[in-house]
Amino acid sequence: YMEQWFALYVQPRKEKLVEKELTKHSFVNYLPLKREVHKWSDRKKTVMCPLIPSYIFVKVKKEELYNVLQIVGAVRFIYFDKKPAPIPDKQIQDIKTFLENKVNITLEPMSFEKGDKVRIVDGRFKGAEGLIIVGKDNKKRFKIRISNLLMDLDIEFDEKEMENMQKIEEDDKNN
């Protein structure tokens, strides 16, 4: 098997620590960083922040994935169809090229389409599953079907609190 890039989810604010540990253990990795100006009441400071918070890209063979998860701060890989989802080399290279050329990049979560099956991943309703519907006001809404009651709950939610279940499958064994 050849080495491929995978997206590794890490503990929040631990990206640089995990990057050091991965490098120490000879895992090829890439933590895309962007320049940000942080302002305090008395000063400004330019700091290098992760482009994609809580994610590091790791280039390994599939059989090495488990070893990567032993690194302190590593949480899980991104899954698609119940398998770790490889990321094409070209996409990693594109990110590097954009950052090297100081392109201004803003991160936007993938938006959901009507009919997408989603799971709430944050907040008090974490774990709830449902469908995206479009309401009369054209806002995307979240619908939970309670099949035994033959009823739908129609709820407005922030898309940042959801993940698309068809696109992202968590590795339940590593949680």
Of 9, 16, 17, the C-alpha closest to 75 is 9
pLDDT band (50, 70, 90) for residue 164? confident
| Range among 44-53, 65-74, 106-115 with highest mean pLDDT value | 65-74
| Range among 16-20, 105-109, 135-139 with highest mean pLDDT value | 16-20
Compare 83 and 113 and report the one with higher pLDDT: 83
Instruction: Average the pLDDT over 125-132 and give the result.
Output: 76
High-pLDDT (> 90) share of the chain, %: 38
Three-class secondary structure assignment of the chain: CCCEEEEEEECCCCHHHHHHHHHHCCCEEECCEEEEEEECCCCEEEEEEECCCCEEEEEECHHHHHHHCCCCCEEEECEECCEECEECHHHHHHHHHHHHCCCCCCCCCCCCCCCCEEEECCCCCCCCEEEEEECCCCCEEEEEEEHHHCEEEEECCCHHHEEECCCCCCCHHHC
Point out which residues pair with 48 in neighbouring strands: 35
Q: The tokens 């993938």 sit on which residue?
A: 110
Instruction: Average the pLDDT over 126-149 and give the result.
Output: 65
Residue 158 has pLDDT above 60, yes or no: yes
Residue 171 has pLDDT above 50, yes or no: no
Q: Please tell me the predicted confidence (pLDDT) of residue 130.
A: 77
Q: Please tell me the predicted confidence (pLDDT) of residue 119.
A: 77
CA distance 141 to 156: 5
The per-residue pLDDT for range 50-76, each reduced to its tens digit, is 988 899 999 999 999 999 999 999 999
CA distance 126 to 75: 17
The per-residue pLDDT for range 18-28, each reduced to its tens digit, is 999 999 999 99
pTM (2 decimals)?
A: 0.64
